[in-house]
Amino acid sequence: MGNTMAVADMEAVVFPRVEEDVLLKAEGLNLDVSIGGKTCRVLRDISFTLPRGKTLGLVGESGAGKSMLGRIISRQIPAGFSVSSGSLMFDGEDLLQASARQHRDWLGKRIAFIPQEPMTALNPVLTIGQQFTEHMLRFGVPAAECEARIIQALEEVLLPEPAALLSKYAFQLSGGMCQRVMIAMAFASEPDLVISDEATTALDVSTQAQVVRLLRDLQARKGTSVIFVTHDMGLATHACDEVTVLYAGEMMETAPARNIFQHASHPYTRALRDATPRLKGSVIPLKTLEGQMPGVESFADIPGCRFASRCDYAAASCNAGVPERVSVSHGHSVRCARYAELETLTAEQHSSSGTHQPGHAFSARSVLQASGISKVYPAANRRQKDKLALAAMDFTIAPGEFIGIVGESGSGKSTLGRMLMGLEDLTSGSIDINGKTLGNDEASWQRRISLVQMIFQDARSALNPRRKVGQLLTQVMDSRPHQRLERNMRMKELARDVGLAEQSVQRYPAQLSGGQRQRVNIGRSLCDLPQILIADEIVSGLDVSVQAQIMNLLLELRREHKVALVLISHDLSVVRYLCSRVLVMKNGEVIESGETEKVLSDPQHPYTRQLIAAVPPTDPDAVWPGASFTDKEAGVL
């Protein structure tokens, strides 16, 4: 494995057959931006080849620059950015040199994009038919044939009743349906290249699996090349032929997709892998990556490897200069100065991994007991029916117990969380805390909020941007102005508890990173030492490495403060890592519940099995997505 090849040979190695028809070829692409007089290299030396009919995955955390390539191709790089050198050959012509007219002509015809947010990517005041027709007319379909061709395209993406869809607006469809419309539109012109930027991130897991399957089917049939941008390494393993891992604008590792997980060679790729919770196999503690990715403005000050500051194996040589890309094996290259020594170094580290326990109850006695709670939203007018959000159910939680509630959007999982917190009225049933039933009076509310607290999903919008971190952490003490000294002490304790530096209490949320903001968000709910935390999707929007930090923090808080957690999540791997018990919900009903390991290893309900099957496995040999789905299944979405 130690034999290193010269970089010049690299391109030939990545996709082995030289005679293969190359569609897109980037060579030494550099993207610069000028910040405060300094030139910062946002993307450094991006080189790859993408053959026809293949998929290149771009994997990385937010800020890695993985969306920038798509923006270079679409010429939508932000103001101030410019490609300073390199070439980007698209089917023999330089995309960077083409005239604006020529370039615009390619967009939509030969190069198509699938957006991240399908619901907002469709114009809300135009029907699907109007937008699709406009697109068809642009690439030269005669007006008379448009309708038939559109219906055919919509059939290809397995949308039920495509003819009826034409007169619908985006808001009448689900996210999965909108994304399938976008895919149908992207492939309608039989483009050479499709760029999918996080196209499945906003979708439910089972919808994600179907969308990936569609994408691969269409690609195979039409011989399209795809650039697949994602933050999910497991997904990239199955959706791509080749994967490139980006960190701070640099290609750290490029490998055949099936190798990226099991034969990760770069320390960063390994860190990503070790921070990803798994759905199968033994649960081991996730290793967290300390610190955060350097920002664009500091790139100019890093002479060497951009990952060095967070790398466990960094040595002085790492900062001496930008490391060369070296070949690991056929089609697998890595940019690491210490790659040759890495094998021996990691062997020492690996022996230290211990065992992991999710949040089990400390005692059998329950803290909170809900019996027969249900929620019905009354109809807005007489023509509509009442909407059942949650069918009558019982729920108990014990001290220190971590319970996961999983299900897709609209399953009622968030409603349950909000009812437990008291943000929604109960249609029926009652909730007891420590044996006393909660009423609707002010005293009950005070008792409730002293024992139950909610962690909101989006830390950015949940924290008032005009208040300092210290005040935010101790927000519940606003009503006790006489306790100023206590408050000042408490904010420092809380900052320490959630792993923030003490000085950070003087900062504003905007000055923190996403992970730090989520820590403040969690710390705030801990101020009055509640017994139960209700967390709605608090780790789903975070990068893998930050997600691991937050999950370990939650387990630590459990050990220290005996706090229990109701975790609402769509991510089964996260639930497996944190929760000892799980509730699977669908259409407002709990369809399966029990010990997490048991439910996941031996699911009883077909829906649970479907949920588990929809998660891209980390094993590259597993077949994912599964067998092609039926029209009936498609109709459910």
Residues forming contacts to other proteins in the complex (CB under 8 A) are 74, 76, 104-109, 112-113, 115-117, 120-127, 129-130, 133-135, 137-138, 143, 146-147, 164, 166-169, 171-172, 182, 185, 384
Min CB(185)–other proteins separation in Å: 7
Q: Residue 100 or 316: which CB sits closer to other proteins? A: 100
Contact criterion met (CB below 8 Å) for 526 and 497 = yes
How far apart are alpha carbons 550 and 269 in whole angstroms? 20
Residue number with CB closer to other proteins (37 or 124) = 124
Nearest residue (CB) to other proteins, 116 versus 610: 116
Strand partners, 586: 589
Query: What would the two tokens of residue 464 be?
Result: 């008032």
* d(C-alpha 26, C-alpha 246), whole Å: 15
CB of 195 to other proteins, least distance (A): 9
Nearer CB in complex with other proteins: 120/511 = 120
Least distance from other proteins to the Cβ atom of residue 580, Å = 39
Q: Rank residues 112 and 584 by Cβ distance to other proteins and give the closer one.
A: 112
**Minimum CB distance to other proteins, residue 308 (Å):** 36
Q: Which is nearer to other proteins, 150 or 495 (CB)?
A: 150
Q: How far is CA 624 from CA 238, 240, 569, in A?
A: 6, 11, 22
Listed in sequence order, the DSSP H helices in 195-354 are 205-222, 233-239, 257-262, 267-275, 339-350
CA–CA separation, 493 and 510 (whole Å): 21
Closest distance to other proteins from the beta carbon of 107 (Å): 3
Judge if the upstream peptide bond of residue 606 is cis by omega within 30 degrees of 0. Answer: no
3-state secondary structure of 50: strand
Residues 419 and 566: their CA atoms lie apart, in Å, by 12
Query: What is the nearest approach in angstroms of other proteins to the Cβ of residue 104?
Result: 5
Lay out the sheet containing 581-586: strands in order across.
452-455, 532-536, 564-569, 402-406, 581-586, 589-595
Least spacing, CB of residue 123 vs other proteins, in Å: 4
Residue 311 burial (CB count, 10 A): 18
* For other proteins, the closer CB: 282 or 384: 384
Cβ–Cβ under 8 Å, residues 179 and 203: yes
What is the nearest approach in angstroms of other proteins to the Cβ of residue 172? 5
What lies within 8 Å, CB to CB, of 438 at 6+ separation is 422, 430, 431, 432, 444, 447, 448
DSSP state of 405: E
Which residue, 181 or 302, is less far from other proteins as judged by CB? 181
Q: Given 3-state DSSP classes, what are the helix, strand and coil percentages for the chain, each rounded to the nearest 5?
A: 40, 25, 40
Of 149 and 468, the one with the shorter C-beta distance to other proteins is 149
CA distances from residue 272 to 226, 300, 311 in whole angstroms, order as listed: 23, 25, 12
From the CB of 167, what's the least distance to other proteins, in Å? 4
> 5 to each of 50, 242, 354, 389, how far by Cα in Å?
21, 19, 37, 60
Minimum Å distance from CB 636 to other proteins?
Answer: 18
Q: Are 46 and 69 in contact (CB under 8 A)?
A: yes
Instruction: Determine how many CB atoms are found less than 10 A away from the CB of residue 102.
Output: 11
- What is the smallest separation between the CB atom of 84 and other proteins, expressed in angstroms? 23
Q: How far is the CB of 411 from other proteins (least distance, A)?
A: 19
On whether the CB atoms of residues 553 and 521 are closer than 8 A, the answer is no
Nearer to other proteins, 132 or 268 (CB): 132
The stretches of 527-590 forming alpha helices (DSSP H) are 544-561, 572-578
Q: Between 146 and 452, whose beta carbon lies closer to other proteins?
A: 146
Closer by beta carbon to other proteins, 79 or else 485: 79
Those residues whose C-beta lies under 8 Å from the C-beta of residue 301, and which sit 6 or more positions away, are none
